[in-house]
Structure 1
């Protein structure tokens, strides 16, 4: 009987020692894929060809790692088709030469694009922009009102032009002096020194909270707003520890302009906090639920932030974005993430050819917390905190190409905050 028990135990241990064992623990699914597939050998005429046996083996590993179970055989077949397309996309992308980033197959590998857009994003184009769009589409009966507004704008711009001309006269007097100083300054500074000055990171000052996961709720705007307020409050109070603020409270209670898990923006979130007496709940007293709930007003520990103000970065101006970042704190931004490159980003400096930069195309909110320079890639980058958990990207962070033509609209819808 004892021998039978030993034999049975041995069979169980052998069955557990399958290739899928390597995907648990700290190993990622992509590590397992790379150990199984030499993608270069499967590359033929620009198309990645994987046989069904390999795909099914990876599919089984994916389901095991992420605990996937589907309601029917039909649903599993549909999910497998989605998974197969994503697998090829990731492998083909990572084979490209001169690329500054790497992708990985992750927990979203069996999600459709529509599911990902609905559940992991949630930025709504700002109210002021929507208002401008609506004005342009009104009937002709509003033409008189538009004419009056145009006349007012002409008068306003005329005054600005007059002030601008005055400033130009002043600047011309200093131009020669500044040019000479800058010339000698540049020649007396090494390239390495220049790159060192192009580094700033609020995380090094211990005023940025940990990365969160919005789960299956489109309230990215709430997490980005909380990130901004957390750092502003830590700076204001000269705190040695960071207090996590409640993204759930913002999602639940800022209904005047925001839509809970269906999206929102920075302006309505800040207006809610201001209307709440400049207070925000702590995460510990109003924890995240992953879904919109009724707004709680009792039994909540709230922090008095003070007089909350915010400003807008000039659209597309990365220089102003960097200045506001260093002067005030993390910046709430919108990004056009309508590509699978964001969905499966793993590491490196993300650069996307022809990535849209129009304000109305922004679909996901994040927070810029710094910028840096990658010596190996010879590339400047923004350090951006996301809300898709620490297993996505670089421990939950994205490095996005900086000063590269407003990459993916990083400065198209950007807001800074201030606590007075």
Structure 2
């Protein structure tokens, strides 16, 4: 790979081999690509920005190295090769532009997604095709959040000690963020009450019904955490070992289908029906005696009030991590620092695990577990800008709610509050402490 990327420069190739050995394969790409970014910045420097040119020889060499490291299958000189090179070049310059900004809170980087098309990135976020017409995606405003209650929260707090939070998952090309976040949060709350159990993301992808296309058309094309929690409480959920993740839509496993069939004739299914209609009420949804979630001590699940930062912090610190929906269209190049480049198009589901303050920047942040693998961001996590006063968190209008949570026939616009819409929609389970039922 090095010989191809750096022909006629054996000394540089040897240095790179040594560098690879010392730094480790996982971080090698970002450092090498940063090297090429610097080279390109020097050679194409202009006042205030980078001059865009056709791909240079250095750019092609950098891309060839990227192709080898990530074991891409497209061949040189193919149509796909040049299409991917175009995506890579665009991201390359965007990273360089961002990292030249003075006073920035976060750094951008090239990563395994740098040759992905915009449609593929939308799929990564669980994007669903338009169901409503017209309008821009979002409009930012800075009307302050109303926080009428006195807030007395710890200066910093997180659930990072939990094994469920340490386990960073990679959803792959499947738009299963909603299912992965739900599985992680279920495991976290199970762990909090002393039950060591995993929860199958693949069963959620394959089996959760979504007839009204809430948050997507279902499976790898998106759904909601509310659907996933309602399904799990009613029908139970297999472990990861029983139904491993495949990052693809597949038939619902027989054992899960049998559980669903049996439950249809054994009691009240109104909670699942409401979730399928996008009509899950705010507040706690209690299980009934024959719900199969009780087998592993899941007693209820809760949907938090929209855009209520006070309740979100209260529940986070007193109960545990939660699934939160966010506007993540600009997250893909995030490397490290406190992210502050948000819009209002809520289109992705993540796990909110805590908050704190950066010692160096002296800036507060929310700590978020993502599902794009351990080599993305800060070892799979992102720190999102948090305002010291909850009332200062921004609000805006999402004109494309169907990209995130809305169902067919839902509202054409919604108000979202918090950086990247963090306060708009959050949900979590509640487990019973004690012996498994």
- Calculate the TM-score normalised by the size of structure 2: 0.69
206, 210, 214: which is aligned to 1:252?
A: 206
Which residue of 67, 78, 81 maps to 1:76? 81
1:67-124 C-alpha deviation (Å, 9 max, x unpaired)? 1232562221121111111100011111111111111101111111111111x12167
Match of 1:407 among 416, 419, 423: 419
Deviations 1:200-241 (A, max 9, x none): 1112255535011111101110011111111111122x24xx
SS in structure 1 of the partner of residue 88 of structure 2: helix
1:219 alignment counterpart: 176
1:129-278 to 2 correspondence within 5 Å? 197-206=154-163, 208-236=165-193, 238-239=194-195, 242-256=196-210, 259-276=218-235
Unaligned runs of 5+ in 2: 1-9, 133-147, 212-216, 260-291, 388-392, 395-417, 433-437
Map residues 275-290 of structure 1 onto 2, 5 A cutoff: 275-276=234-235, 279-290=236-247
Q: Secondary structure at the match of 1:281?
A: coil
Distance 1:110 1:61 in 2: 12
Is the Cα–Cα contact under 8 Å of residues 219 and 251 in structure 1 kept in the other structure? yes
Q: How many residues align?
A: 332
Q: Which structure dedicates a bigger proportion of its chain to helix?
A: 1
Which is bigger in relative contact order (C-alpha 8 A, separation at least 6)?
2
* 1:321 paired to 2:312: yes
Tell me by how many angstroms 1:315 deviates: 2.2
* Larger radius of gyration between Structure 1 and Structure 2: 1
Indicate how the Cα distance of structure 1 residues 393 and 46 shifts in structure 2: closer, same or farther if over 3 A, else same: same
Q: Is this contact kept in 1: 2:356–2:366, CA < 8 A?
A: yes
Q: Is the 8 A contact 1:369 1:383 kept in 2?
A: yes
Partner of 1:373: 357
Partner of 2:429 in structure 1? 417
Judge conservation of contact 1:315–1:411 (CA < 8 Å) in 2: yes
How many Å apart are 1:274 and its aligned residue?
2.2
User: Is the 8 Å Cα contact of residues 162 and 188 (structure 2) preserved in structure 1?
Assistant: no
Answer yes or no: is the 8 Å Cα contact 1:93–1:103 preserved in 2: yes
Q: Could you say what the CA RMSD is over the residues aligned between the two structures, in angstroms?
A: 3.2
Q: TM-score, normalised by structure 1?
A: 0.71
Tell me the equivalent position of 1:97: 102
SS at match of 1:67: coil
Q: For 2:163 and 2:71, how far apart are their aligned partners in 1?
A: 35
Cα 1:20–1:115, aligned 2, differ >3 Å: closer, same or farther? Answer: farther
SS at match of 2:165: coil
Q: Which residue of 2 aligns with 1:34?
A: 34
The CA distance in 1 between the partners of 2:155 and 2:337, in whole Å, is: 17
Q: Tell me what 1:54 maps to.
A: 58
1:348 and 2:307 aligned: no
Cα deviation, residue 413, structure 1: 1.3
Native 8 Å contact 2:37 2:92 kept in 1? no
State how far apart, in whole Å, the 2-side matches of 1:205 and 1:63 are: 36
Please list every run of at least 4 consecutive aligned residues from structure 1 whose deviation after the TM superposition is greater than 6 angstroms.
299-303
C-alpha distance in 1, partners of 2:174/2:300? 27
Q: How far off is 1:401 after superposition?
A: 0.9
In the aligned structure 1, how far is the partner of 2:166 from the partner of 2:244?
15
Which of 280, 301, 305 does residue 310 from structure 1 map onto?
301
Q: Per-residue CA shift, 1:303-359, capped at 9, x if unaligned? A: 8333442223332222221111112211111111122xx11111111012xx334xx
